[in-house]
Amino acid sequence: MNKRVLIAILLVYLCWFALDFVIHEMILGDTYEATARFWRPMAEMKRGLLQVVSIIAATSFVLIYSLWFKEQSAMAGLKYGLLFGLGTGVGMGYGMYSVMPIPYFMAFTWFMGTVVEAGVAGLVTGLVVREPAAAESVASPSPPPVDTSGEG
């Protein structure tokens, strides 16, 4: 793994951590309290495991892009993230809504939250793991040697 990939993994993890706080604490906090019968009590939640899951997910997300996407740019990353978010968000939001008696607001927020999180992650990944610009990847040519012999 190169340095850019490692940086992208760290940034994706941090973006998801921050966005998860906004989505699950600020937006859905009251909804989780109202549906507490579905969730473990806070004291029993496996927070360490959740962080390991997030690190593995961020690593997989970035590696899929960096290893298998020929075009690597901010726009390619954003498209990848949005498509990934759409596919996983439908399962997360509406898949769970189809089997659990959760409020529609929760299902919709899980869906949209996943699309937003993956879109941001794709953009970040595309910006960090992008192909270096021609100016960055090609060393500037050396100036021609100076003739100091006086013969020429």
Tally the C-alpha atoms within 13 A of residue 48's C-alpha that lie toward its C-beta.
Answer: 2
19 touches 116 (CB < 8 A): yes
User: What percent of the chain is predicted at pLDDT more than 70?
Assistant: 86
Residue 141 lies in a domain: no
Per-residue model confidence (pLDDT) at position 1: 75
Give residue for tokens 């996407």: 69
pLDDT value of residue 113: 98
For residue 126, being part of any structural domain is answered with yes
**Tens-digit pLDDT profile for residues 39-54:** 999 889 999 999 999 9
pLDDT of the residue at 147 = 61
Q: What range does the domain containing 10 cover?
A: 3-32+51-131
Domain contains 61: yes
Using an 8 Å Cβ cutoff, are 88 and 140 in contact?
Answer: no
Question: How high is the pLDDT of residue 130?
Answer: 82
Q: Which amino acid, residue 72?
A: Q
Task: Please check whether residue 113 lies inside any domain of the structure.
Answer: yes
pLDDT profile of the chain (152 residues), mean per 10: 94 98 97 94 92 98 96 96 98 96 98 99 96 53 59 59
Rounded to 5 degrees, what are φ and ψ at 140?
-65, 140
The pLDDT assigned to 134 comes to 42
Cα(69)–Cα(61) distance, rounded to whole angstroms?
12
140 occurs within a structural domain: no
Indicate the number of domains in the chain: 1
Chain segment 130-139, per-residue pLDDT in tens: 876 644 544 5
Q: Give the per-residue pLDDT at 143.
A: 57
What local confidence, expressed as pLDDT, does residue 142 receive?
54
Domain assignment present for residue 138? The answer is: no
The DSSP string of 61-130 is HHHHHHHH-SS-SHHHHHHHHHHHHHHHHIIIIIIHHHHS---HHHHHHHHHHHHHHHHHHHHHHHHHSS
Cα separation of 134 and 95, whole Å?
Answer: 45
